[in-house]
Amino acid sequence: MKNEEIRALSVEDLRTQLKTEQTNGQQLRFAHAISPLENPARMKANRKAVARLQTEVSRRKHEEQAANTPAQ
């Protein structure tokens, strides 16, 4: 997924997509442990997708906290 696509998702969709990508990553690692993957670069792409999703979830959480914090 591209960053623009990730930013367009709602928070709930982000969490769902994150869970899906993490599950997919576990399956890729398991499959690679049994026999080498045809395209091992998929594992790297999956890790990057998970990181992008986690970053966006974290960014939105921090923005929400900043919006709820009263100005001093």
| Domain covering 3-68: architecture | Orthogonal Bundle (1.10)
| Model pLDDT, residue 61 | 93
Angle at CA of residue 67, ends 64 and 70, nearest 5°: 135
Band of residue 72 on the pLDDT scale cut at 50, 70, 90: low
* pLDDT higher at 70 or 36: 36
Instruction: Give the predicted TM-score (pTM) of the model.
Output: 0.87
More confident: 72 or 26: 26
**pLDDT tens for residues 19-56?**
999 999 999 999 999 999 999 999 999 999 999 999 99
Domain ranges in the chain are 3-68
pLDDT at 71 over 80: no
C-alpha of 42 from chain center: 14
